[in-house]
Structures are given as structure tokens and as C-alpha cells.
Structure 1
Amino acid sequence: MVTALLLGTALTVLPSGLFAQEKGGIVDVATIGEPPTLDPMSSTADLVGIVTQHIFETLYTFDKNWNVTPLLADSLPDISADGKTYTIKLRTGIKFHDDTDMTSEDVVASLARWEKIASRGKQAAGFIASIEAADPATVKITLTQPYAPLASLLAFNNSAAIIIPSEKQDDVMKDFIGTGPYMLKERKADQYIQLTRFEGYKSRAGESDGYGGARHQYLDEIRFVPVPDPNTRVEAAVSGQYDYVDSIPVESFDKVKASASTQPIMLKPFGYPVFVFNTAEGLNKDVAVRKAIRQALSMEDMMAAAFGSPDFFSLDGAIYPEAYSWHTEAGTDGAYNVADPEGAAAALKSAGYNGEPLRILTSRQYEFHYKMAQVAAEYLKLAGFTVDMQVVDWATLTQRRADPKLWDVYITHSPFLPEPALIGSLSTSSPGWWNTPARKAAVDAFTSEVDPNRRVALFADVQKAIYDDAAFMKIGNFNAVAAKSTKLEGVDPAPWPFFWNASITK
């Protein structure tokens, strides 16, 4: 089993025995907006995963050290000596929210749907020969060749391999029935998503461990409320209007800290902002144009505009920071933070650029995305680009980015993921559609290698291919800030905050 090899960052977990958590109560969570869907297979949006991880579960998840750990599976997979057969024992006595029993039939049907509609399922599908039910509590996955990221892909809550009833496998999900500790009671668009405790839930035994281990159900309800404007989220945090406020601008840290009812929480380092290029159609199909964009931009100015103080960001072209075993500088020399719009203008001229609009898709719901876009636009204009900035809500952005005819660059961000193969842009079906011989050679070699040390070395080739092809641009490293009520217990800093262990002190 290949796990994450993360040396620096773990989910911060406080000893649960320090306080007695009380049962009951309702928690209101302010999110950055309305999720585009509640089907986590069909979306890579973090917002979708944050909400739906309470409703749906996967075979595996990640512990506090980012190791793959069982969730609906009874144990880690038994992998054959040749690395091609995964035998997965399932937990028994698991109920869906419709009170039916989960069996291997449901798992096989769900993984087939995942291969068909999820970008990460499609990524794995090329390596999967068959998925079969060996008996009611055992699933066997046969691969065409060893594929090291499989367990991590099955554990990820993003484009997630959720397990749902075999008879509920419509391409467009109609019934939101999972096995999770909370179930969907009501959704009112742009108002709230209301989850209530699932009384038939069967938690794992033992201690809570990151996303793994025991999942408690102290709360009666969890309500996710869209609050798209970041300044409104800050004021709501200061006033104590919500129990938890996700993704607030870092410059509000001191203001929230001064509040009597709410305190800031920071995940350090959280991840990196990224400009994703549309390599399939339009202006950025030309790698020379993509490289000219990269050459023009000042990553330092964008990060400063987005995060203000260096307390909240650092410049770093490597996909993973130095604290991670995946860290490498391959490909970054002369290609990161160049800030040379004049040189970019010359490169654009050589590429035959004729003034076509460069369509940059962004949203103000993540205010730092928008601030980076503003700085980028000015540098790109200096390089001679005609910039068409398209500012939309996040749900619209996640829909629009799926159509290669509608954009050239979109701005997003990613946490530092435990397995590099989880990086969305490495999949040819992910928006951006990076698909070159260099990508295939580097990524295939990386994902088929099972030796952990060798995989670290091969990731350097992947990063070099990312830079050589200008598949996407990492802007830097940043810390994420959220806020939680002083009465809210059991919620620790995490890339996708979860509330199954949360409680309210009375």
C-alpha cells in the first residue's frame, strides 16, 4: 500500500478527552456560496465535498497523517503480489438512509458509475479491467497494470467514489441517499442545506483520526448557508451569527481574533492558488501563448495583493513545499515569477497573437482569486493581451469551466493533496484537458510505480512536464483562515471542514 509520505503537514487533532461533548443542538455553517450539485461524483468543487462528505461515504478516507484508512471497507485492500488485484472486505451492518443494507452489489454499481461520470473515476478507469462482487461482503478490483494511486482515489472526497444504493445509479442523481452520519432533510436554493442526524448510522469503533476512525453524531442538525460575499462572511464571523464561517480573507484575522464570540482558525500551509489553462481549444491551445502568459506574470505581486502579509503566503514554484517528501524544483528554473511583460510581448508576437480576447474566468466568492485576477490582468495588458475578465459566482464558474468553448484561463486553488495523482489537472478529463505525450509518459510512469522512494523521484518528471507544457500555473503557497464560535467544540483545522464530531457547549 502506497501512502502519502507527507513529512510536514498533518490534520491537527486535539485530544477529544479534554472536554465532554454534549449531544444536541444545531450548527449553522456559512459557506462561500451555493454548491452546484450535491452529487460529489460529478464535481471537483471543494464546496461540494465539504457539504456532501456528511451525507455520503467512500470505501476509504484519510487519517490525521494523510494515510489511507478504511471507512466503509473493513480493512485496507489485500493487494496481490503483482499489484493487479485488490480484494476489499466490506463492513457489515451498514445501512443506507433509506434503511436498506449496503452490500458488494451496491459497491460494484457505485464504482461503475464513478468510472463513468467522475473525472477521477475516468482517470482510474483506464487501469481497471473489472470490478466484481466476490461475495456479499467482498469486492475484487482487477487492474490491467499496477496503479499506485487507486486507494487514494477511492479515499478522496472530491470527484468522490461514494457508495450509494445499486438502484439509485442515475447519471443525474435524483435521490441523495448515502451511508453518512447525517442525511439530507431539505435544500432551499440560495438559502440553506439542512442535514439531520441519521439514527441508523454505524460508526467505526475506536478514536477519531483525521477524517477516519469514529464519526460521532453529537449534533441534531447541520445547516450550510451560502454567504457569497467575503466581507459579509467576515462581519457574520465577528458578530457570531454563524457557528463556523469558511474561507474568510486573511486580512480579517486580527478583526475576528478581537471578537468575543468567534475566533479565527488557520491551516498552515493550506495549499496553492492556480491558474488553469484551457489546452484543448481557443487561444491557450498554443503552448507558446501559455508560456507567454506565465512569463508576463509577477507571482509575488499577485500573492501580495491576495494575502497582504507574508505571514499568510510564500513564493514557491514547486507544486509541494519543502516540508513534503514530494518536493522538487524540477522545471521551475526561469519559469516561475518571471514578471517580464516585455519579453512576453515579444514571445506573443512570435506566436502570431492577433489581439484575440484572453478570457479569464474568476469569482469574488473567493476574494483572493479575484484580487490575483486583477493584478494578472494589468501585467497581461502590458504584454499586449486583450483581457476579457469574466467575474461570475462560483457555481457558474464550475459549470462554465466544463465547456472548453467558454474560457481560456480559470482561477482556482487546491490544498496540498496526500497523493499527487489526486491533482485534478493530471487527468485528461479534468477542465484544462492537458493531454500530451510528455504528460502521458511522466504520469503513467509515476502512477504505475509502486515503490514509494522511486515514486518520489518520478514525481520530479511529472512536475517538469507540467512546466514544460505550461499545463497550469502555481502562484504560491498560502494559509487558509476560517472562523468558529467559541462554543463550537470538536472542529479542527482541515482542508474540508467536517462537523460529525462537532458539538455546542451549553
Structure 2
Amino acid sequence: MVGAFVLPTGSVEAQTKGGVVNVATVGEPPTLDPMVSTADLVGIITQHFYETLFTFDKNWKVTPLLAETMPEISADGKVYTIKLRQGVTFHDGSTMTSEDVVASLKRWMDLASRGKQTAGIVAGVEAVDANTVRMTLKEPYAPLLALLAFNNSAAVIMPAKKMENPLKEPVGTGPYKLKERKADQYIQLVRHDGYKSRSGEPDGYGGARKQIVDEIRFVPVPDANTRIEGAISGQYDYVDALPVEAFSRLQGQKTTEPVLLKPFGWPVFVMNTKQGIMSNLDARLAVRTALSEEDMLTAAFGSKDFFALNPAMFPKDYIWHTTAGTEGAYNLADPEKAKALLKKAGSEGKPLRILTSRQYEFHYKMAQVAAEYLKQAGFAVELMVVDWATLTQRRTDPALWDIYITHSPFLPEPALTGLLSESSPGWWSTPLRKKTVDAFNSEPDPAKRPALWAEVQKAIYAEVPGIKIGDFNALSAKSPKLDGVVPAPWPYFWNASIK
């Protein structure tokens, strides 16, 4: 199972309204259109002003958000009838109807990598009446609701009349709305007075979303050390994505305290299987054979309090955990065997371009260690260090890179993993991928899906579209004055208050 959120104590209703939450992020988001980006930074910010039909509760189960209830699903698993909440308004004052939802879902399937992943199995999306939408599938598709709930490459609902590409103005239904964006300075969100919250108590990303603070201000702070000092000085109320070696410095401070998510997720080296040196399987096997995941994790996180060597795509306490395909394929650090594979690929001496960023310092540290091991194996490594916004743009062009470094939280539904999508950067598209992923996605019986996931993991290890480096814990920091913030992979600040 997936670890549950740690819920705050006390009633949000009893907290005093007002104040500003200042949030330090890893940098400037490449866009404020959550459909067209898989960057976590985009989802963290935009989830405050855009909403989806469904979201995840504290136990990572799909729960309604803009939908009134969970959908009615036909006996054959192909027809989803979704009732919408009534009286929900957009930030421009217009009322959300099925017309907006249908147009938004079609835009999502046209533009979003996860929408494109879904589009192939969707026969149609239509409005039944003003408050009801029907999705008809060509075949059963188990991950559909999780994909509709995910805030990354997200199926957000926009007004039908305001969904240009690129977007001219972000208009959503969320508890906060965009007031001002000053590039490289801040993104200012203010309360949406017309917001209609769900009733009841907060429940993970679901349940009530209370607008307690007046304003949320996201400030790009690309340098990790500057983020640490900003937390300790009390400049920011919440500081995201800190190097784990800062943990001891944050302890015992009056101005800030550490927030640790354990385990958080996994770093991954994504291979460009579409063109260039990594489009050859033997070259990808050579990379994996050359690397020491242990040395990379040690360089990135220091103590084993903050990482674990684990080739499986999920940790042991997850329902999806399996060791299938991993034997003899992890933490090999064998340059001689890697040299032989590189020679077989005919790729000796060809540049290997590794795209990374220092805004996530652990990415960069892993890249440095990897470069040395790969050079020993005969690769001509070019380390391309750019800011995160540039990386997320460059990775969409297969001509510009061979490996890029990213990470993912452990997700409640494996089909949400970007590596599995043919349209995500990396572009893994083979008969084995199709066979295993399609079988996994089309199985509606939850009891049968873990065994099918094991076959997908085998395919990942056989064809190396990416290399999982291990498991890691994530560190953030928050002010003791900040209440109601639940530790979560994508931190959110509705229900938050300032003492």
C-alpha cells in the first residue's frame, strides 16, 4: 500500500483568516499550464487555481473533486458517467458546466502526455446534460480515474472559451487565483471569493479546501544553499526540496523545522530511446552495467538514513513491490563488461549528453558520479547543466539529449509513471512495452494487477528505457507559525494558516 498522509490536528474552521504564506520553490516554472508539463513544480503551484474532476484522499484512493460523486461505470467497464458538482464557478465568474469539462478533457487528450496516453482508448467524450459527462472507452482501462485525478500533466477543467495553446490567462475553479506573475521574482495567488469548497473535513488532497490565508506567494530560489538560509532566517514559511544534509541544521531552530517524507520517491536516468546513442539497446545496457547506484546515492544523500538501495520500482510495503527482472541488473559498476556492450553497440567515442540541473542538487551530484563511471567504460560524456525550466523544455526535443535526470514520488497507480508513456520524453515504444503495459492497464481486477505489473517491470529491465537509481527521502522546511500543512509530495496551502 501507499503511505498515508499525516493529518494535522485541530479544526481548520477555528483558525484565524488572513496572512500571506511565502513559499520558496526550486525555480521558475516553465509554464502555468498544467496540461502541457510533467514538472512537479508546475503541479505544485497550479493545483491551487486549477482543479480536476477527481483527486486523491489521505490513503491515496481516488475521490471526487469537481465531480459530485465517483462515476457510474458500466458492467463492461467501458462507459463512465460522471455527475458534476453544481454551482462551481470559474475565476472569471462563469459557471462550470459539462461543456467546459468536455472541452477540457479533449484539450487534455490533445496536448498532455498523460492525456495522449489515454486518448487511444477513448471512443468519445460527450455532455449528457449540463451537469453530466459521459466517457466511452474502446476497452476497459484500469488507470483512467487515477489519470484524471493526477495533478501532473493534469486533466484540469478550464472554461471552454479560454483554453488557447499557449494559454493567455490561467482561469480555473480553485480556492486561489493568479493575481500577478513577475518572472524570476514571484507568483502571487489570492483568494477566489467565489470558491465553492466540498463539504466535510480535509482528506488528503480531497475533502474541504478552506481559504484561510489571503495570499500564497511562490518565490523561485534556484540555489539550494540560499533556500536553506532562507528557511533558517525565517524569510520563508515553507521551503521545498532541500538537500538532506541540511536536516541537522534545521533541527532545534526557532524559525523553522524539518519536514521529512519517508520514503518519498526514486531518482531516474531517462534514456532517449528515439534517436542518438541511447536508441541502441546495447548502449543502454552498457550505461546500466557501468553505473554504481550505491556511489551515486551516497554522493547525493550522504547517510543511509536518507536513501535505500532498491532496484524494484516500488518499496517493500507497497502492493506493487516485486523483484521481477532486477536480478543481476543493478548496482553492477562493471566498466569492462560495459565496454564490451558499448563496442557491440558501435558507439565508442560518440558523445553521451547527460542533461541535468543544480536546482535539484542531488540530480547534479548523481550526474557527476555517473560521468566518472561512464568515462571508465569508454563513453565520451558531455554533462549539460541547465536550470530546471530549460531542462523541461529541452527534454521535449530528442535531438538535444541522450540521458536526462529526474525523479518521481512513489505514485498510487504505476500507470501514472511517465516512463511508461510513449509520448513522454524518452519515447519508449516497443512491442514488449505495448504488450505488457496494455495487459496491465486493461485488467480491471485489482487482485490480478500486481502480477501484471511484475511483467511491466521485467520489460523495463529488459529494454532499459530508464534506470531507477534507488529510493530516497525528501526534505523540506516549514515555519512553526505555519499550521495545517500536511506533508505531501506536492505541498499545498489551502487549509493552511499563519499563527
Range class of TM-score, shorter chain: over 0.9
Correspondence for 2:146? 152
Aligned equivalents of 1:37, 1:447: Cα separation in 2: 30
C-alpha deviation, 1:20, in angstroms: 3.6
What per-residue deviation string (whole Å, max 9, x for no partner) do you get for residues 106-137 of structure 1?
A: 00000000000000000000010000000000
Aligned equivalents of 1:258, 1:357: Cα separation in 2: 47
Stretch moving more, 310-319 or 346-355: 346-355
Aligned equivalents of 2:147, 2:6: Cα separation in 1: 22
Correspondence for 2:472? 478
Aligned equivalents of 1:16, 1:363: Cα separation in 2: 39
Counterpart mapping for 1:255-294 below 5 A: 255-294=249-288
Correspondence for 2:449? 455
Correspondent of 2:190 among 167, 175, 196: 196
SS at the partner of 2:447? Answer: helix
Correspondence for 2:179? 185
Aligned equivalents of 1:63, 1:18: Cα separation in 2: 17
Correspondent of 2:321 among 324, 327, 340: 327
C-alpha deviation, 1:18, in angstroms: 9.0
Correspondence for 2:201? 207
Change (3 A) 1:434 1:166: same
Correspondence for 1:250? 244
Structure 1 unaligned segments of length 5 or more: list them: 1-5
Correspondent of 1:389 among 380, 383, 387: 383
Q: Once the two structures are aligned, what percentage of the paired residues are identical? A: 68
C-alpha deviation, 1:258, in angstroms: 2.9
Correspondence for 2:336? 342
What per-residue deviation string (whole Å, max 9, x for no partner) do you get for residues 15-74 of structure 1?
A: 333994211000100000000000000000000000000010000000000000000000
Q: Does 1:493 align with 2:496?
A: no
Correspondent of 1:298 among 292, 314, 317: 292
When the two structures are aligned, how many residues end up with a matched partner? Answer: 499
Aligned equivalents of 2:431, 2:307: Cα separation in 1: 34
Aligned equivalents of 1:121, 1:79: Cα separation in 2: 20
What per-residue deviation string (whole Å, max 9, x for no partner) do you get for residues 400-455 of structure 1?
A: 00000000000000000000000011010000000000000000000000000111
Aligned equivalents of 2:108, 2:53: Cα separation in 1: 13
Aligned equivalents of 1:44, 1:395: Cα separation in 2: 11
Counterpart residue identity of residue 89, structure 1: K
Aligned equivalents of 2:10, 2:187: Cα separation in 1: 28
Counterpart residue identity of residue 104, structure 2: S
Aligned equivalents of 1:11, 1:344: Cα separation in 2: 42
Correspondence for 1:310? 304
Stretch moving more, 230-239 or 397-406: 230-239
User: In the alignment, is the contact (CA less than 8 A) between 1:239 and 1:259 conserved in 2?
Assistant: no
Aligned equivalents of 2:72, 2:334: Cα separation in 1: 52
Correspondent of 2:166 among 150, 164, 172: 172
Counterpart mapping for 1:390-405 below 5 A: 390-405=384-399
What per-residue deviation string (whole Å, max 9, x for no partner) do you get for residues 323-367 of structure 1?
A: 000000011001111111121012111221231110000000000
Counterpart residue identity of residue 393, structure 2: Q
Correspondence for 1:406? 400
Aligned equivalents of 1:504, 1:20: Cα separation in 2: 12
Correspondent of 1:47 among 41, 53, 56: 41
Aligned equivalents of 2:468, 2:82: Cα separation in 1: 36
Aligned equivalents of 1:369, 1:494: Cα separation in 2: 21
Correspondence for 2:133? 139
Aligned equivalents of 2:118, 2:12: Cα separation in 1: 42
Q: Does 1:502 align with 2:496?
A: yes
SS at the partner of 2:405? Answer: strand
Aligned equivalents of 1:118, 1:415: Cα separation in 2: 19
User: In the alignment, is the contact (CA less than 8 A) between 2:178 and 2:187 conserved in 1?
Assistant: yes
SS at the partner of 1:180? Answer: coil
User: In the alignment, is the contact (CA less than 8 A) between 1:243 and 1:488 conserved in 2?
Assistant: yes
Aligned equivalents of 1:244, 1:198: Cα separation in 2: 22
What per-residue deviation string (whole Å, max 9, x for no partner) do you get for residues 255-292 of structure 1?
A: 01132110000000000000000000000000100010
Aligned-residue CA RMSD in angstroms?
0.9
Counterpart residue identity of residue 140, structure 1: R
User: In the alignment, is the contact (CA less than 8 A) between 1:268 and 1:478 conserved in 2?
Assistant: yes
Aligned equivalents of 2:390, 2:313: Cα separation in 1: 27
Correspondence for 1:3? none
Correspondent of 1:108 among 102, 124, 131: 102
Counterpart mapping for 1:17-166 below 5 A: 17=11, 20-166=14-160
Aligned equivalents of 2:486, 2:201: Cα separation in 1: 15
User: In the alignment, is the contact (CA less than 8 A) between 1:341 and 1:383 conserved in 2?
Assistant: yes
User: In the alignment, is the contact (CA less than 8 A) between 1:361 and 1:409 conserved in 2?
Assistant: yes
Correspondence for 1:363? 357
Counterpart residue identity of residue 206, structure 2: G
SS at the partner of 1:468? Answer: helix
Aligned equivalents of 1:445, 1:17: Cα separation in 2: 45
